[in-house]
Homo-oligomer: A and B are copies of this chain.
Amino acid sequence: MSTSPVDALGYIAAVLTTSSFFPQALKTLRTRDTSGISLGMYLMFTSGVVVWALFGWITGDGPVLVSNLITALPAGLILQRKIQSPR
């Protein structure tokens, strides 16, 4: 099995965008500072990744299913903190 340079670029992009919500979730859990966090963003983004995961499941696209389930975890946590302490 070999990976082309173009595939490698796709994997780098996927790892960056999928993992990026973890530092935000850790910061939000640690500081409980949600004043600058947009509720609208996390409502849209979290429901978006859940719909993406559903889409990946229905179409049998494993990478789409798995990467969106991974992202749903930190995004859902940030959304829950924002709802619990809006200021």
One of B14, B16, B51 near A45 (C-beta < 8 A) = B16
Does A17 have its Cβ within 8 Å of any Cβ on chain B? yes
Instruction: Take A6-B55, A51-B9, A55-B10 as given contacts and tell me if A16 and B44 are in contact as well, using a CB distance cutoff of 8 Å.
Output: yes
Interface size class of A (residues with CB under 8 A): 35 or more
Cβ contacts under 8 Å, A19 to chain B: 44
A47–chain B nearest beta-carbon distance, Å: 6
Instruction: Take A9-B58, A10-B55, A45-B17 as given contacts and tell me if A35 and B36 are in contact as well, using a CB distance cutoff of 8 Å.
Output: yes
B-binding residues in A (CB < 8 A): 6, 9-10, 12-17, 19-24, 26-28, 31, 33-38, 40-42, 44-45, 47-49, 51-52, 54-55, 58-59
